[in-house]
Amino acid sequence: MNVVTFGISDSANIRPDEYVLDEKGVTISLDGIGYYLPLYGIHNVYNAVAAIAVARHFDVNAGIVRDALASFQNIDMRSQIIEKEYVVINDAYNSNPLSSRYALMSAAAVYAGRRKIAVLGDMKELGAESARYHRETGQAAAECGFDMLVAVGDMARHYADGATGAGMPVDCVQAFQTRSEAISYLRGALRERDVVLVKGSRSMKMEEIADALVR
């Protein structure tokens, strides 16, 4: 069996020569051909490279691939950028440890130099290791340079423990049981030009927080 790997590391068979992230999407150069995907986030670099790898396997013309990627339309609540006096990244469609880490990394890379707030709801169906995964994600928020963490749900304290353990100041970490509590706090805490990442599992309905901030 012939295995072809893809990714952004040097060990991948198919990988970009370079890539650029911004709030509108990702731009990739691969073997001298430029591709643009109008989807925010480093995770979409992986998605684009995966699509290119599959297309190459089936000998699809690079121009067709380029046009298909450029015309892709996102759906709401998946890395959806909403610009007001501050930026809301509505990523409330779903959440897991890996997607949360990529969401944090993406915001850190695209919005370097701006105050960033992670609003994270419970990640469901993680079994016996749930507390650890939430702590690690809180730790990732601190390591990615987020200035504040607002955690919501039954696992909020584990997010908080991870963030403070990684050096985020205690007074910059808030844990709430309900979305309404988080909304009330955020309305008083947000400043102009802040960047707010909202993410959680589908059942947490974190889009209600994003919608309240946009309104």
Q: What is the pLDDT of residue 41?
A: 95
Q: What is the pLDDT of residues 52-79, one digit of tens each?
A: 999 999 999 999 999 999 999 998 889 9
Quote the CA–CA distance of 209 and 151 in Å, as a whole number. 12
Q: List helix spans (H) across the chain.
A: 43-57, 62-70, 97-110, 130-143, 156-165, 179-189, 207-214
What residue ranges define each of the domains in the chain, with the CATH number in brackets?
A: 18-70 (no CATH), 80-214 (3.90.190.20)
Helix (H) or strand (E) holding 37: strand 33-37
Residue 22's pLDDT band (cuts 50, 70, 90): very high
Q: What is the pLDDT of residues 81-140, one digit of tens each?
A: 999 899 999 999 999 999 999 999 999 999 999 999 999 999 999 999 999 999 999 999
Pairing of strands 87-91, 173-176: unpaired
pLDDT at 215 over 90: no
Side chain identity, residue 156: A
Q: What is the pLDDT of residue 5?
A: 96
Residue 66: Cβ within 10 Å count? 18
Quote the CA–CA distance of 153 and 27 in Å, as a whole number. 36
Query: What is the DSSP code string of 197-210?
Result: EEE--GGG-THHHH
pTM exceeds 0.75 for this model:
yes
Q: What is the pLDDT of residues 166-189, one digit of tens each?
A: 999 999 999 999 999 999 999 999
Pairing of strands 148-152, 195-199: unpaired
What mean pLDDT do residues 35-48 have?
Answer: 96
Q: Nearest Cα to 40, choosing from 78, 85, 70, 95?
A: 78
Give me 207's structure tokens. 């889009």
